[in-house]
Amino acid sequence: MYEQVFLLEKRDSEYQDLAGYRSGGGYSALSSTLRDSTPEQLIELVKEAKLRGRGGAGFPTGLKWSFVPKGGTSAKWLLCNADEGEPGTFKDRIIMEQTPHLLLEGMILAAYAIGAAKAYIYIRGEYVIAIRRLEREIQACLQAGLLGKNILGSGFDLDIYLHRGAGAYICGEETALIESLEGNRGQPRFKPPFPAVSGFYKGPTVINNVETLACVPPIVQRGADWFRSIGSEKCPGPKLYCLSGHVKRPGLYELPMGISLRELVEQHAGGTHSGKKIKAVIPGGISAALLPEPALDIAMDFDALSAAGTMLGSAGVIVMDESTCMVRVAHRIIEFFHHESCGKCTPCREGLAWIEQMLRRIEDSEAQSGDLESMERLYGNIEGNTFCLLGDGAVMALRGVVKNFRHEFIERIQQGARAA
């Protein structure tokens, strides 16, 4: 039986405040690390655990931390990415609402590892409950000597500040997040230099997702072997999955990384709420290509999903039953990406506008034969030619729908031709 570590099942505020979190062993990972380990040893431990970033790309966390230059005079920064904008995703919100200290303890550990004295949580502006709770609990930590100067008598100092976002999906992209935090419009920056070398105000900067940071205290407490014993060899650890759409039991599920998508949807989430057949499932937020029903026997991990032409992304699992119109789905997805395009580069800004118009015409049965092919040529030109991955995500999502449900698009076009 899988034992949960994120403690999310303990509702009713048990772990929402400092006393409750401490009574369950909270902050013992921090005190033992500050007492017994060097920053280098902590980085080694996270490397050994093979923790991979939960923000979407699956980048090895220990490796990312080790890129930060040791010593030096410029200030180092830790930024927590709590902007959670990928449609279908709500795991970070629930971590911050239910166990805010798991994130805070993870941040203090990460800041210790990289030598940061200040850290910011860039949090979605809409997450008002989480914002209030984190504000309150940061104060509690300051009073308890867990934040501020000389944490637990170790000589290590850290302040954590909340930075409230204001409704821009692109600010979840790490370089756009830095721009936004510097008071500019949230538009991506060119890489390299990578943030670990030159990031926030040109200082070495680590950006990690909320769930990634929340994995750190349990790794310290239970060890790298324990973490690696869950999930698969290359993608170990516990994982949060967000289930939504046409499922009987939508919600957040903590299960091992690499669980089969079919088991997740059919057993844990109870299959469709209507009892109808499943038509397709998006495995990792709407940027991820959907999988048609016969392809659901696949491991929910970074490598298996990437090999299948999609991605684990944010693990936002959206289930669609057989009543779903795929032309409508494609149109809605592209409307989203077009709306959120930051406007910096032409293929994304203009290309998505064109595709959105073409999809509207197809949906309204106003398209002509050949339009589907023109649309495919157009998105082929966007892919790989955009400044950041938003444009690619849009194309990946659309390609998945068209590839698997091409006949629905053709039917619509033919309907239009008959009506004309």
Ligand X SMILES: Cc1cc2nc3c(=O)[nH]c(=O)nc-3n(C[C@H](O)[C@H](O)[C@H](O)COP(=O)(O)O)c2cc1C
In three-state secondary structure terms, 244 is strand
* Residue keyed to tokens 């966390």: 61
In three-state secondary structure terms, 13 is coil
Nearer to another protein, 220 or 401 (CB): 401
Count of chain residues binding ligand X (CB under 6 A): 22
Candidates 416, 415, 396, 394; CA nearest to 404 is 396
163 binds another protein (CB under 8 A): yes
148 binds another protein (CB under 8 A): no
Q: Which of residues 371-390 bind another protein (CB under 8 A)?
A: none
Taking the complex as a whole, how short is the minimal distance between the CB of residue 9 and ligand X, in angstroms?
23
Sheet hosting strand 159-164, strand order edge to edge: 159-164, 118-123, 77-82, 205-209
132 binds another protein (CB under 8 A): yes
390 binds ligand X (CB under 6 A): yes
Candidates 120, 152, 150; CA nearest to 134 is 120
Q: Which stretch binds ligand SF4 (CB under 6 A): 190-198, 209-217, 335-343, 367-375?
A: 335-343
**What residue 290 binds from another protein, ligand SF4, ligand X, none (CB within 5 to 8 A, per partner kind)?**
none
318 binds ligand X (CB under 6 A): no
User: DSSP letters of 339-401?
Assistant: HH--SSSHHHHHHHHHHHHHHHHHHTT---TTHHHHHHHHHHHHTT-SSSHHHHHHHHHHHHH
Count of chain residues binding another protein (CB under 8 A): 59
**Binder of another protein out of 33, 81, 89, 212 (CB under 8 A):** 89
97 binds ligand X (CB under 6 A): no
Q: Which of residues 270-309 bind another protein (CB under 8 A)?
A: 282, 286
Q: Which amino acid is at 210?
A: V
Q: Which amino acid is at 173?
A: E
- Residue 78 CB coordination number (10 Å): 28
Taking the complex as a whole, how short is the minimal distance between the CB of residue 197 and ligand SF4, in angstroms?
21
**What residue 96 binds from another protein, ligand X, ligand SF4, none (CB within 5 to 8 A, per partner kind)?**
none
**Binder of ligand SF4 out of 386, 395, 397, 399 (CB under 6 A):** 386
How far apart, in whole angstroms, are the C-alpha atoms of residue 127 and residue 43?
31
179 binds ligand X (CB under 6 A): no
Q: How far is CA 348 from CA 89, 188, 288, 293, 399, in A?
A: 23, 13, 17, 30, 15
Query: Where on the chain is the footprint of another protein (CB under 8 A)?
Result: 75, 84-90, 92-93, 124-129, 131-132, 135, 159, 161-169, 180-186, 200-201, 242-246, 250-252, 282, 286, 316, 318, 320, 324, 328-329, 332-333, 336, 339-340
